[in-house]
Amino acid sequence: MSVDVPVLEDLDLARGRRVLVRVDFNVPLRDGVIDDDLRIASALPTIGFLRDRGATVVLASHLGRPEGRPDPASSMAPVAAHLATLLDCEVPLAPGVFGPEVESIAASAGPGGVVMLENLRWDAGEEADDPGFDANLAAGYDAYVNDAFGASHRAHASIVGPPRVLPSAAGRLLAREVEVLGRLLRGADRPFVAVLGGSKVSDKLGVIEALLDRCDTVLVGGAMAFTFFLAQGHAVGDSLVEPAMVGACTRLLATGRVRVPTDVVVATGVSADAATRTVAADAMPDGWKGLDVGPTTTSDYAAAIGAAATVLWNGPMGVFEVAPFAAGTIGVAEAVAACPGFTVVGGGDSAAAVRQFDLADRVDHVSTGGGAALELIELGDLPGLQALRSAPSSR
């Protein structure tokens, strides 16, 4: 299935056009202060392109989980203020996402102006893709741009609604994500090694199966490794497991292309001062939890990554936020950064890890959407991409 989408150059952007831009500014906040502005900074090329052509840029995003009602803790106000600093221009915050006050603010912004709408998810119509919400959201715009890759696997109103009635295109960020992940889908250079971590096999089963059609080896880490241990007949102590997934793990192991840890770091609890032990995968003690891959596994995985022509990494090897259980994730991150092949980090905790370890600039592509990236790899398409391809043309 093709994942090609229309891009900004496909839009008629005569001066004065008003463009609704769906961005993913769902950034982490700490005491009302933005903790990581990667998602905001990633939207600047699209915003700049539109402003340079005299468009009025109206930005729409969600933030947090306000559950369909206004919540001051999830207001877009800190985002608008931070964006104003990055752009060195005023970015007024509209009190809602449509209505007379929003129209007045957008009209006063003028060509090259930027406006931030209030949190989309303050209205239950956003997540429900409510027809009335859709119509109101798209009213008054000449075009729509989706630059929210991290939300494009959701058939929410702001993702699939405007393309039904407006000429639409992918922003620079979304187009880059599609280009890179499409490269993995269409035939990456071999050997192609995928490194998958995370808590549950059930969350990654479809992705593993899809990757086995495309890559040479899947390296498994994180808590989901312990369900594979069960499938191998090993004891797992108090580790997190999914007994219902043992059959699936047995089937995956039988392919001969899924590798699991040979040693693990265990502890009786998750804390910075926890007593730890490194044990073989088939020698986990009762009452202990597996919380990271061990040094032999880290070294073996690093060697496989280093020999690859293409690497996709999604999911940490352990509880890397806690120092005693970070070594496996650090080792994989460093191996991905050092790999001479084409490297992709598939968003989520893996993206946070490469940034935390100051390695992001040594990776070819760090995705802004963990869930969206995995769904695109698994299914070959996303609701947001389908919507763009079906949108009316502005030419």
- Annotated active-site positions, please? 39, 200, 348, 371
Cα 109 to Cα 124: distance, rounded to the nearest angstrom? 27
Cα 239 to Cα 266: distance, rounded to the nearest angstrom? 9
Beta bridge partner(s), residue 195: 219, 313
Give, as one character, the DSSP assignment of residue 18.
Answer: E
Burial class from Cβ neighbours inside 10 Å (0-12, 13-18, 19+) for residue 8 reads buried
Reported residue count of the chain is 395
Cβ neighbours of 369 (radius 10 Å): 26
Q: Give 127-140 as a DSSP string.
A: HHT-HHHHHHHHTT
Contacts of 103 (CB under 8 A, 6+ apart): 140
Q: How far is CA 292 from CA 317, 325, 333, in A?
A: 6, 5, 14
Tokens matching residue 139: 């009213």
> What b/e string do you get for 144-160 counting C-beta neighbours within 10 Å, with b at 16 or more?
bbbbbbbbbbbbbbbbb
Tokens matching residue 277: 């032990």
- What amino acid is encoded at 140 in this protein? G
